[in-house]
Structure 1
Amino acid sequence: MSLSKITTTVGLNIGKIDIGSVRLMFWDLGGQEELQSLWDKYYAESHGVIYVVDSTDEERLEDSWKAFDEMIESEALEGVPVIVLANKQDVQGCLNVDQIKSLFNQSAAKIGRRDCKMQGVSALTGDGVNESIDWIVQCVERNSPWRPPRLKDDSS
């Protein structure tokens, strides 16, 4: 598959995977500006946030950061771990993690004391994806006394 055939999420995609005793439910929410107003409907049940940035789209990077900055202010996400994935690191000429981090670090005060990490990944090759999922699972498990995750036996 060529990169030109990979499109952005339009609307909402839902998926789940089981890792140990944890079931991760993924809500892939489209990043289009008109859909961002719906994001907060999902925050109350979130135990972690995986925020994906297109490392090849320098023109929209500031828009992505602004959406992130607004999201991170939500009281419903207070204390919830966040990982920002700098996707498409396999593409020559993409922005590297440090370049993206320098912009997103402007949200540091809003991130507060929660677990937060930025990781370079390639969804196409899988590089960095497993490590990122492992990190978010560890954070969710560590946060369980304050925001209990649902074990896979609790729901389907």
Structure 2
Amino acid sequence: MFTLVAGAYRYLTRVDEYNVLVLGLDGAGKTTVLEKVKQLATGVSGMAPDKIRPTVGVNIAKVHRERCVMRFMDLGGHSDLRGIWDSYFADCHAVAFVVDSGDRARLDEARGVLLGLVARAELAGLPVLVLANKQDAADVKALLAVKELINSVADELDGRDVRVLGASGVDGAGLQEAIDWLLHRMLENSAARPPASSGH
């Protein structure tokens, strides 16, 4: 009887866990986005944007939604740190690629890094959300420039789920929509990339 009750308890308290890699060039605002995601998830004010320092290693935020945990992992974006990205690919369920939409000079570099990511076998078929960040400071054409960047690599995306959203890690614009889109796409893709499950 105890085994039956324990099994039922484990089933009822099981939580599916999904890992979202937050990637992009250094200076794109990944950590600022992550701090705002934490604030949206908990209702507690996070670190002020002017106090945030570049990520060296991994910065993690968890968002609990619909009996799921979304674990956002912000990995350092400097070229010297991108080598650590590989070790997280096999266990991830989606990629959030953050672009500084106001930095036109580095859009080609961002395009090259994104192309390198979608070419990786470990990431095949995973949804990719491109966050055109810093919309609070960018001009009105900035989002269009990022969308054009994605259109230019459409042939390499292999028909996977890709979306471009304008966002701001400073004021949170677009981030709730981003979280909702990622969760929905990861759930739809769970047969191909099953979640990790644990009791909570």
Give your verdict on TM over 0.5. yes
Please give the secondary structure, in 1, of the residue aligned with 2:122: helix
Q: Are 2:149 and 1:103 aligned?
A: yes
The aligned runs of 1:1-156 (5 Å cut-off) are: 6-93=52-139, 96-151=142-197, 154=198
Q: How much does 1:42 deviate?
A: 0.6
Amino acid at match of 2:150: F
Amino acid at match of 1:98: L
Structure number with higher relative contact order (C-alpha < 8 Å, ≥ 6 residues apart): 2
Alpha-carbon separation, structure 1, partners of 2:171 and 2:58? 23
Alpha-carbon separation, structure 2, partners of 1:101 and 1:70? 18
Q: How much does 1:16 deviate?
A: 1.3
Listed as ranges, the gaps of 5+ residues in structure 1 are none
User: Bigger radius of gyration, 1 or 2?
Assistant: 2
Percent of aligned pairs with the same residue? Answer: 38
Is this contact kept in 2: 1:48–1:80, CA < 8 A? yes
Is this contact kept in 2: 1:14–1:28, CA < 8 A? yes
When structure 1 is superposed on structure 2, of 85-94 and 123-132 the one drifting more is: 85-94
Please give the secondary structure, in 2, of the residue aligned with 1:15: strand
User: Alpha carbons of 1:8 and 1:107: their partners in 2 closer, same or farther (altered >3 Å)?
Assistant: farther
Is this contact kept in 1: 2:94–2:127, CA < 8 A? yes
Is this contact kept in 2: 1:81–1:114, CA < 8 A? yes
Alpha-carbon separation, structure 1, partners of 2:199 and 2:122? 22
Is this contact kept in 2: 1:48–1:140, CA < 8 A? yes
- TM-score by length of structure 1 reads 0.88
Alignment root-mean-square deviation, CA: 2.1
Is this contact kept in 1: 2:102–2:134, CA < 8 A? yes
Q: How much does 1:150 deviate?
A: 2.5
Q: How many residues align?
A: 154
Is this contact kept in 2: 1:88–1:94, CA < 8 A? no
Is this contact kept in 2: 1:121–1:129, CA < 8 A? yes
Alpha-carbon separation, structure 2, partners of 1:94 and 1:12? 32
Alpha-carbon separation, structure 1, partners of 2:63 and 2:177? 15
Listed as ranges, the gaps of 5+ residues in structure 2 are 1-46
Alpha-carbon separation, structure 2, partners of 1:155 and 1:82? 28
